[in-house]
Chain A
C-alpha cells in the first residue's frame, strides 16, 4: 500500500475515534453537578432531610452557633413543608430553629439521639408526636387534602454497621407494621453508603451488613432519592428519604449542593411529592 493510502487509513482511524468519543460523551455531564431544587411545584409537599452537624473533632459535633443563621437561610430558601433534621445540639436549639423559621407556622417534635437531637418540623398541618428514640423521633403529620403521614427523622450510628442494621431494621419494621395504615415517610442520616459504582470495600468490611439493612428498608418502602448522587463527604450517599409506594409521585428529588457552611459534611436533600392518582 502506498504511503498516501496508509496516511488515509491512519486519518480515518483518528476520525472514527473522534466521532465515537464525541457521540459517546456528547450531552453528558462529566463532572458531578448540583441539583438546584428551584421553586416548589404547585400542590407539592416538599420534604427536606439534613444532617446539620459538623465533621471536625472526634466524632464530629452538632450544629454550631456560627452556622445557625446560614442553615435557617437555606431552609427558608427551600420553602419546605416537612423538615427532618439531625445533629442539632439540643432540644432548645431545635426550638430556637423553629422560632427562627417562624414559630407561628412551624410545629416541632424532637428526640435526643446519642447526646444530640433529631427533629421533625412541619407546617401547613398538624404534627403529633408518637414516640422519641432511640435513633429517631416519630410523628403523624396531617394536612388538608393529604393522607395522614407517619414521619420519622432518624440518625443511625456512624461507626457500627451492626447497630445500624439492628436499629434501622427495627424502625423500618415498626413503620411498616403501622396499625393505623398511614402513608410512611422515613428519612434522615442512615450512614449507609451503597452507591453503585462508588463503594468497593477497599477500606471497610461494613458493606455486607449495610447492604442487608438497605435491602430490608427498600423492600418495604420506595427509595425516593435513588440515583440522585452523593449527599455527604467524601462522595458518599448517607442521607435517604423513603416513602410508602403507591401514595405519592416523586416530582423532583436530590441533594442541594453548595449549601454547607463551616465544617458541615452533609448536603440538604429535598423531595417534592405530589399525591398519586391511584
Chain B
C-alpha cells in the first residue's frame, strides 16, 4: 500500500518526465556535437595525421558510450539528488510525513519504501538513458564495432576493440554497474533529506557536495584525497569496456561504492528514526 502510494506520488510530481525530457535534450546536443566534431576533426587537418582513428571510429556505439559517460557523471546526478532530496524533506515541508506516520506504518518501512522507490527510479532512469542513447546512436549514426582510443574522455589508456555483439553485452552489464554507482549520491541526498526540512536545501546540499567532491577527485593536486571520495569510483563501470576487464578492480570499486551507500543510508536511518515530527 505504502509502495503504491509512493509510486503515485512520484508520477504526479512529474520529476520522471522532467528528467526524461532533459536527458533527451542532452542527447540531441551530444548528437550535434558529434557531427560537428567529426566534420571538423576528420577533415584531414595536418595535426590529425598521427592517429589511429579511422572511418568507423565514430559510430552509434561510440556515441552511446560517450553520451552515457557524460550524462552519468554530470546530468543523472542532478535528478538522482533531486529524487533523494525530495523524499523525506519534501514530505516534511508539506506536512505529509506526519500524516503518513499516523497510519499503522512503521518508520522503518516508510524509510526503506521511499529509498527503494528512489533506487528503482534511478535504475530505470539510467537504463532508459542508456537504451535511448543506443537507439539514437543506431538510428542517427549506425552501429559497428566499438573502438576506443586513449583520449580526453579517459575511457582507456590503450586501443581497445570490441566486436559489436561483445560491446552490446558490455552495455548491458554497464547498466546495473552504473545503477549501483548512482546509489551513492542517492543515499547522500537521502541523508540530507532526513536532516533538513526543506527539500530545496536537501537537493542543493546533495548536488553541490557531489560536484565539489567530483571536482576535487578530478584535480591531480588532490591525488591523496581521491581514494577517500566516493566520486572517484563512480565511473568504475568504464572498465567493462576494456577488451579484458580487470574484474577484481571492478568488484573492489563496486564494494567501495556499496560501502559508501550503506554508510550514508545508515546515517540517514539513524537520523530518521530519532527525529520528532511536529
Say whether, besides A162-B47, A227-B157, A207 and B220 are in contact (CB < 8 Å): no
Residues of A1-53 at the interface with B, using a CB-CB cut-off of 8 Å, are 1, 3, 5-6, 9-10, 13-14, 16-25, 28, 30-32
Contact A24 B253 (CB under 8 A): yes
**Complex partner residue of A17 from B108, B159, B224, B266, CB under 8 angstroms:** B266
Given A1-B107, A13-B266, A227-B157, A21–B218 Cβ distance below 8 Å? no
B153-171 contacts to A, CB under 8 A, are 154, 156-159
**Closest chain A residue to B252 by CB distance?**
A24
Do A28 and B252 form a contact, CB below 8 Å, given A198-B220, A201-B152, A227-B157? yes
Interface size class of A (residues with CB under 8 A): 35 or more
- Cross-chain contact B255 with A13 (CB below 8 angstroms): no
A10, B270: Cβ atoms closer than 8 Å: yes
B192 to chain A, nearest CB (A): 17
Is the CB of B51 closer than 8 A to any CB of chain A?
Answer: yes
**Which chain B residues lie closer than 8 Å to A68 at the CB level?**
none
Q: Please tell me which one of the listed residues B52, B224, B253 contacts residue A219 in the complex, with CB atoms under 8 A apart.
A: B52
Per-residue interface assignment for chain A, residues 191 to 220, with 1 indicating a CB less than 8 Å from any chain B CB and 0 otherwise? 000111111111000011101111110110
> Residue A165 at the B interface, CB < 8 A?
yes
CA distance A97 to B257 in the complex (A): 51
In the bound complex, how far is the Cα of B156 from the Cα of A227, in angstroms? 11
- Whether the Cβ atoms of B108 and A6 lie closer than 8 Å is yes
A-chain residues with CB within 8 Å of residue B150 when the two chains form the complex: 194, 196, 211, 214-215, 218
Return the chain B residue nearest A169 by Cβ: B50
Quick check: A196 and B157 within 8 Å, CB to CB?
yes
B152 touches A211 (CB 8 A): yes
* B106 contacts A by Cβ under 8 Å: yes
Chain B residues contacting A211 (CB-CB under 8 Å) are 149-152
A234 contacts partner chain B, Cβ-Cβ < 8 Å: yes
B220-262 interface code vs A (CB 8 A; 1 in, 0 out): 1101100110000000000000000000000011111111111
Known contacts: A196-B157, A234-B220, A235-B223. The answer to whether A23 contacts B255 by CB under 8 A is yes
- For residue B131, CB closer than 8 A to chain A, the reply is no
Q: Does A226 contact B (CB under 8 A)?
A: yes
A218 contact from B158, B218, B228, Cβ within 8 A: B158
Answer whether A20 and B262 are a contact pair too, CB < 8 Å, given A6-B107, A198-B220. Answer: yes
Distance A209 CA – B256 CA, assembled complex (angstroms) = 35
Give CA–CA (A196, B260) in the complex, Å.
24
Instruction: State the Cβ distance, A165 to closest chain B Cβ, in Å.
Output: 6
B265 proximity list for chain A (CB < 8 A): 13, 17
- Complex Cα–Cα for A211 and B151 (A): 6
With A13-B265, A31-B224 as contacts: A226 and B151 at CB distance below 8 Å: no
Most buried by A among B51, B152, B156: B152
In angstroms, Cα B228 to Cα A215, docked, is 32
Residues of A within 8 A of B257 (CB): 24
B35 at the interface (CB under 8 A from A): no
What 1/0 mask marks residues of chain B from 47 to 71 whose CB sits below 8 Å from any chain A CB? 1111110000000000000000000
What chain B residues lie within 8 Å of A195 (beta carbons)?
Answer: 157
Contact residues in B for A234 (Cβ distance below 8 Å): 220-221
Q: Are A32 and B223 in contact, CB atoms less than 8 angstroms apart?
A: yes
Judge whether A5 and B219 touch: CB under 8 Å.
no
Nearest-Cβ distance from residue A99 to partner chain B, whole angstroms: 39
Whether A21 contacts B259 in the complex (CB less than 8 A), given A14-B266, A196-B156, comes out as: yes
B256 touches A21 (CB 8 A): yes
Residue A223, interface by CB 8 Å:
yes
Q: Which residues of the other chain, A, contact B263 by a CB distance below 8 angstroms?
A: 14, 17, 21
Q: Which residues of A contact B152 (CB under 8 A)?
A: 199, 201, 207-208, 211
Instruction: Tell me which residues across on chain B come within 8 A of A25, comparing CB atoms.
Output: 227, 252, 256
A218 to B151 Cα, complex, angstroms: 13
B15 contacts partner chain A, Cβ-Cβ < 8 Å: no
A-B pairs with the 5 shortest C-beta distances?
A: A24-B255, A216-B50, A21-B259, A20-B259, A13-B266
Q: Could you list which residues of chain A lie within 8 angstroms of chain B, going by C-beta atoms?
A: 1, 3, 5-6, 9-10, 13-14, 16-25, 28, 30-32, 162, 165, 169, 194-202, 207-209, 211-216, 218-219, 223, 226-227, 234-236
17 more CB-based (< 8 A) A-B contacts, given A17-B262, A24-B255, A207-B151: A1-B108, A10-B266, A10-B273, A17-B263, A23-B252, A24-B254, A24-B258, A28-B252, A162-B47, A165-B47, A169-B49, A199-B220, A212-B51, A215-B51, A215-B52, A226-B157, A235-B223
29 A-B pairs whose Cβ atoms sit less than 8 Å apart in the complex: A6-B107, A13-B266, A17-B265, A19-B259, A21-B256, A21-B259, A21-B263, A23-B255, A24-B254, A24-B258, A24-B259, A30-B227, A169-B50, A194-B157, A195-B157, A196-B157, A197-B154, A198-B223, A199-B220, A200-B219, A201-B152, A208-B152, A211-B152, A212-B47, A215-B50, A215-B159, A216-B51, A234-B220, A235-B221
